[in-house]
Structures are given as C-alpha cells and as structure tokens.
Amino acid sequence: MAVGALCERCRTRSVVFAREDPPGMRLYRCGGCGEIKRACPRCQQRGWLRHYLVDATPPSRYVCDHCMATWDSSWRSMTPEQGVWPAEVWGERLRAVVDYEFPRDRD
C-alpha cells in the first residue's frame, strides 16, 4: 500500500511519500488532491491512521484502519488489548475529524 495507493478522496493513484513526522511515522501526499495521509508503522503501512476526537485528555486518537493500532496526540500507544471493545478504551463518542487541511480547498 502507501505509494500508488488509491486515494479515497479523488479516486486517483498518485500517492507519494512525503516525509516522516514524527520519526517513524511516514506521511504520504496525494498528487491528485493534495491530501496528506499518515501510514501505520505497526502493520507495515497497510493501513492509514484516522484521526478521531474522544471525550478524554488528550482528546485525539489516531487509529489504524487496518490493524486498530491507536495513538494519542503525543504518540503514546493507546492500542486496545485483543478482545476489548474499543469503546471501553476510546469512549462512546468517537468523532472522525480531518487530520490536515486540504490546501486546494481554500481556493
């Protein structure tokens, strides 16, 4: 996955490696729409990290859509144990948010 992956947003295959931020977390950028995507280091970049807000401190959760690995905003691991329903770890009110702004949306 990652390089050459299908961009869900613009349906093109123009995803390229951008940089690591923080070290070990690989960021990719879609050449079609400019979206920045964060690949999961735990499952060898098979999943993208999705950004959610929960009722906790800190409120951010980055959740892999492939392996469920989870981090908070300071990159502390919050991955739920196997068999634990994620709501017990993340709370009930999980709200998806956009991780980065899309530069071209501001035109």
Work out which of 48, 64, 70, 78 binds Zn ion, going by CB under 5 A.
64
Q: Are 33 and 102 in contact (CB under 8 A)?
A: yes
- Residue 67 in the binding site for Zn ion (CB under 5 A): yes
- Residue 66 in the binding site for Zn ion (CB under 5 A): yes
Query: What are the backbone angles phi and psi of residue 46, rounded to the nearest 5°?
Result: -75, -25
Q: Which one of 4-12, 20-28, 52-60, 88-96 is the stretch in contact with Zn ion (CB under 5 A)?
A: 4-12
Cβ-based nearer residue to Zn ion, 55 or 100: 100
What is the H or E stretch that residue 30 is in? strand 26-30
Contacting residues for 25 by C-beta, under 8 A, at least 6 apart: 38, 39, 41, 49, 75
- Residue 94 in the binding site for Zn ion (CB under 5 A): no
Q: Are 58 and 73 in contact (CB under 8 A)?
A: yes
- From the CB of 16, what's the least distance to Zn ion, in Å? 11
Q: Are 64 and 42 in contact (CB under 8 A)?
A: yes
- Residue 39 in the binding site for Zn ion (CB under 5 A): no
Binding site for Zn ion (CB under 5 A): 7, 9-10, 30, 32-33, 35, 40, 42-43, 47, 64, 66-67, 69
